[in-house]
Structure 1
Amino acid sequence: MFLVAITGGIATGKSTVTDVFRKNGIPIIDADKIAREIVEPGKPAWHQIKEAFGDEVFLPTREIDRDALGKAIFNSSEKRGLLNQITHPRIHRTITMEVFKHLMSGAQYVALDLPLLFETNILMDFIHKIITVTCEPDQQLERLKKRNNFNEEDARKRIATQMPLDTKCEKSHFVIDNSGSIEQTQKEAQQIVQLLNGSRHHWRIRAYIVGAFLAVVCFVLWLNQFFHFLPFDLF
Structure 2
Amino acid sequence: MKPWVLGLAGGIGSGKSAVADRFASLGVHVVDSDQAARWVVEPGRPALARIAEHFGAGVLQADGTLDRAGLRARIFQNPQEKAWLEGLLHPLVREEVERHLSLARSPYAIMVSPLLVEAGLHRRVDRLLVVDVPESLQLERAMRRDEASEEQVRAIMKAQASREERLRHADDVLVNDRDLTWLQAQVERLHAFYLTLRGGVQ
Q: TM-score, normalised by structure 2?
A: 0.89
1:168 maps to 166
SS at match of 1:101: coil
Higher helix share: 1
Structure 1 residue 56: Cα displacement: 3.2
SS at match of 1:85: helix
Question: 1:108·1:202 contact (CA, 8 Å) conserved in 2?
Answer: no
Structure 1 residue 201: Cα displacement: 3.7
Of residues 57, 64, 72, the one that matches 1:55 is 57
Correspondence list, 1:101-120, <5 A = 101-102=103-104, 105=105, 107-120=106-119
- For 1:143 and 1:27, locate their aligned partners in 2 and report how far apart those are by CA, in whole Å: 26
Correspondence list, 1:173-184, <5 A = 173-184=171-182
1:3 maps to 5
Of residues 175, 189, 192, the one that matches 1:191 is 189
The answer to which of 44-53 and 16-25 deviates more is 44-53
Structure 1: runs of 5 or more not aligned? 205-235
Structure 1 residue 140: Cα displacement: 1.8
Give aligned pairs, total: 200
> One-letter code of the match for 1:110?
A
Structure 1 residue 123: Cα displacement: 6.3
2:138 maps to 140
- For 1:76 and 1:152, locate their aligned partners in 2 and report how far apart those are by CA, in whole Å: 22
SS at match of 1:118: coil
- For 1:22 and 1:150, locate their aligned partners in 2 and report how far apart those are by CA, in whole Å: 28
2:29 maps to 27
- For 1:123 and 1:112, locate their aligned partners in 2 and report how far apart those are by CA, in whole Å: 10
Structure 2: runs of 5 or more not aligned? none
Structure 1 residue 167: Cα displacement: 1.3
Aligned-residue identity in percent: 26
Change (3 A) 1:46 1:95: same
